[in-house]
C-alpha cells in the first residue's frame, strides 16, 4: 500500500494566515490518520516578496500550533538546477517552446478577447515559430488542445476542464526563474506527494499541473481543494475583519489547542461535537467529510472555545503560557505568588491569557487608581469602620492562609453585624482596585500580608479625604 504523504507549501511573503494554518492542519491530520508523512515546503521563488522574516513567522506559527513536520522545510530556491533540468527535458521533447511575444502584444490580445467576451488566454502565436535561444523570451508549456482533463477532487467532486480553455502557460520567466505551476509539479513529483490538500483558489491551476505531470510521466496525486474562509460580512477573510495571523492570536492570549479546535470545525464536522482533542481530530478527521461551501470566521465562537480550554487545561500548562503575557505588563512572576496558584484562582474568570494577565496584575503590582464606579459604590464613609477593623485583624492574623482569611472576614462581619458583602466588597476594592476578583480569601492570600495592609491603609486614607472634601 502506498504511504500517504501530504505537504504544506506556503509562500513566505507575510505571516502564517489562519487560512493557511487550517490547510496545514488538514494536511497534518490526514497524514497522521493514515500513518503517513507530513512535509513542509517553502515556496520562495518570488524573490522580490519572499523574506527571511516571513519564513521565520511561518515556522514560528507552525511550532506554536504543534504541527510537527516529518520532512523539511525544503526551499524551492535551493532547487533551481532541478527545475532547469526539467524545463530543458520538456524543451528537448517538444513539450515546451520559447515565446518572445511582447507585453504589448499580450495586453492587446487580452483586450480583443475580452471585447469579444472570450476568456483571455494566450493564443499559441509562438508555438511553431522557433524563437532563437539568444533572443529575450519566456518558455511556455505546450498544453494539449483537444479533449479535456478531469480532476476527481476529494472535496469538490468531479471537475472537468476542456483543454481548449487552457492556454500555454509560462513555466520559465524571461529572467530565467521558474514559475509556480512548474516548481510545484516538480516538487510534488520528487517528494512523492500522494495527496495535495489546498485552498480552492488553486483549483484552476490543477488541470495545468496535471498536464505537466503527465508530460513528465508521473501519475498526479489526489487533490482536495478546501473552501475559503470568509469574514462575518461574507467577504474573504482579511485584516479588516480582525486578527488573521496565527502569531497575532498567540499574542492576544489564545491557546494553540483552542485555535486548532476552531480551525478544524471550519468546513468539517463530526455530528454535533464541538470540542475535539488532537487525538480525536486524528481519529475522526477525513478529507472527504469537508464541506464544499465556504465557512465564516466567528471570533465569538473562537473566544468561547478558548475560555473552555483555559478552564479545562492543566494549571501548570496555562501558567507556562501565561508567563509571557505577564512579562508584557512588566510583571516578573517570580516576585509574587506561584503563577500556578494565580491560574487556579482565575481560570473560571478569563477568556484569554491576555485578559488573565490584566485581571491578575494587581497581585504583583500596585495600581495607580481605583475603578471609578467601584470606588464610588464601596469606598464610602459607611465602609470606614469595617476597613479599619479588618486592618487590625489582618495585621495579627496567623497563619496567612485562605481558611484563616475567610474566617477573619466572616468574624468581622459577625462582630459588626454586617452582611459579609458589606465587609468583603470594600476590602476587595481596597486591595484590587475593582469590584471583581476571585473569592476574597483567595484574593487576600495571593496579594500577601504586606501589600494587603498597605492597600487597606491607602483605601482608609482615600475615604477620609473624601469625607474632608464634602
Q: What is the pLDDT of residues 432-465, one digit of tens each?
A: 999 999 999 999 999 999 999 999 999 999 999 9
Nearest to 145 by CA among 164, 120, 159: 164
Beta strand 157-162 pairing with 148-153:
antiparallel
pLDDT at position 14 is 84
Q: Which residues of the chain have pLDDT under 50?
A: none
**Whether 311 is catalytic:** no
Residue 464, C-beta contacts closer than 8 angstroms, at least 6 positions apart = 384
pLDDT at position 47 is 79
- DSSP bridge pairs for 199: 226
Distance separating alpha carbons of residues 157 and 228, to the nearest angstrom = 16
| H/E stretch holding 72 | strand 71-75
Distance separating alpha carbons of residues 150 and 158, to the nearest angstrom = 7
Distance separating alpha carbons of residues 452 and 441, to the nearest angstrom = 12
Asked whether the beta carbons of 35 and 270 are under 8 A apart, the reply is no
Asked whether the beta carbons of 82 and 186 are under 8 A apart, the reply is yes
pLDDT at position 335 is 92
pLDDT at position 262 is 97
Strands (E), 170-233: 170-172, 195-199, 222-226, 229-230
Residue 201, C-beta contacts closer than 8 angstroms, at least 6 positions apart = 228
- DSSP bridge pairs for 159: 151
Q: What is the pLDDT of residues 129-140, one digit of tens each?
A: 988 999 899 999
Asked whether the beta carbons of 172 and 178 are under 8 A apart, the reply is yes
pTM, whole model, 2 decimals?
A: 0.91
Supply angle C-alpha 393, 396, 399, rounded to 5.
105
Q: What is the dihedral sign for C-alpha 92, 94, 96, 101?
A: positive
Residue 361 burial (10 A CB sphere; 0-12, 13-18, 19+):
middle
Distance separating alpha carbons of residues 324 and 333, to the nearest angstrom = 10
**Radius of gyration (Cα) for the chain, nearest Å?**
32
- DSSP bridge pairs for 71: 39
| H/E stretch holding 138 | strand 138-141
Catalytic entry in 239, 292, 311, 376: 239
Supply angle C-alpha 430, 433, 437, rounded to 5.
95
pLDDT at position 232 is 82
Amino acid at each position: 500500500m502506498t504511504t500517504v504523504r501530504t505537504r504544506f507549501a506556503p509562500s513566505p511573503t507575510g505571516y502564517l494566515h489562519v487560512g493557511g494554518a487550517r490547510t496545514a492542519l488538514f494536511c497534518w491530520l490526514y497524514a497522521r490518520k493514515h500513518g503517513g508523512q507530513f512535509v513542509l515546503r517553502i515556496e520562495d521563488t518570488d524573490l522580490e516578496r519572499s523574506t527571511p522574516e516571513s519564513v521565520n513567522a511561518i515556522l514560528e506559527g507552525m511550532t506554536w500550533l504543534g504541527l510537527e513536520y516529518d520532512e523539511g522545510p525544503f526551499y524551492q530556491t535551493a532547487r533551481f538546477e532541478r527545475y532547469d533540468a526539467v524545463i530543458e527535458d520538456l524543451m528537448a521533447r517538444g513539450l515546451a517552446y520559447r515565446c518572445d511575444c511582447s507585453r504589448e502584444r499580450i495586453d492587446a490580445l487580452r483586450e480583443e478577447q475580452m471585447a469579444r467576451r472570450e476568456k483571455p488566454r494566450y493564443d499559441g502565436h509562438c508555438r511553431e515559430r522557433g524563437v532563437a535561444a539568444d533572443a529575450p523570451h519566456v518558455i511556455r508549456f505546450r498544453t494539449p488542445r483537444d479533449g479535456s482533463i478531469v480532476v476527481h477532487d476529494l472535496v469538490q467532486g468531479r471537475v472537468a476542464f476542456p483543454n481548449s480553455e487552457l492556454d500555454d502557460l509560462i513555466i520559465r520567466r524571461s529572467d530565467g526563474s521558474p514559475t509556480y505551476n512548474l516548481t510545484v509539479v516538480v516538487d510534488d513529483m520528487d517528494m512523492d506527494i500522494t495527496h495535495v490538500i489546498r485552498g480552492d483558489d488553486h483549483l484552476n491551476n490543477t488541470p495545468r499541473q496535471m498536464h505537466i505531470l503527465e508530460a513528465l510521466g508521473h501519475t498526479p496525486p489526489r487533490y482536495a481543494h478546501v473552501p475559503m474562509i470568509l469574514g462575518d460580512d461574507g467577504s474573504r477573510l482579511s485584516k479588516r475583519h480582525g486578527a488573521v495571523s496565527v502569531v497575532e492570536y498567540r499574542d492576544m492570549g489564545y491557546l494553540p489547542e483552542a485555535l486548532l479546535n476552531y480551525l478544524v470545525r471550519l468546513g468539517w464536522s463530526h455530528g454535533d461535537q464541538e470540542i475535539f482533542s488532537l487525538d480525536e481530530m486524528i481519529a475522526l478527521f477525513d478529507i472527504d467529510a469537508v464541506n464544499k461551501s465556504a465557512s465564516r470566521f466567528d471570533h465569538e465562537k473562537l473566544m468561547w472555545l478558548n475560555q473552555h480550554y483555559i478552564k479545562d487545561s492543566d494549571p501548570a500548562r496555562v501558567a507556562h503560557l501565561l508567563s509571557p503575557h505577564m512579562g508584557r505588563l512588566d510583571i516578573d512572576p517570580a516576585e509574587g505568588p506561584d503563577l500556578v496558584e494565580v491560574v487556579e484562582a482565575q481560570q473560571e474568570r478569563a477568556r484569554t491569557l491576555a485578559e488573565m494577565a490584566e485581571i491578575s496584575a494587581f497581585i504583583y503590582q500596585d495600581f495607580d487608581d481605583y475603578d471609578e464606579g467601584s470606588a464610588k459604590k464601596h469606598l464610602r464613609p459607611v465602609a470606614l469602620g469595617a476597613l479599619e477593623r479588618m486592618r487590625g485583624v489582618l495585621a495579627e492574623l496567623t497563619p496567612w492562609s485562605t481558611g484563616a482569611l475567610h474566617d477573619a472576614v466572616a468574624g468581622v462581619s459577625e462582630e459588626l453585624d454586617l452582611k459579609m458583602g458589606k465587609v468583603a466588597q470594600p476590602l476587595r476594592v481596597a486591595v484590587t482596585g475593582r469590584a471583581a476578583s476571585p473569592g476574597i480569601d483567595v484574593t487576600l492570600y495571593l496579594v500577601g500580608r504586606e501589600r494587603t495592609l498597605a492597600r487597606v491603609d491607602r483605601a482608609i486614607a482615600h475615604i477620609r479625604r473624601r469625607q474632608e472634601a464634602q
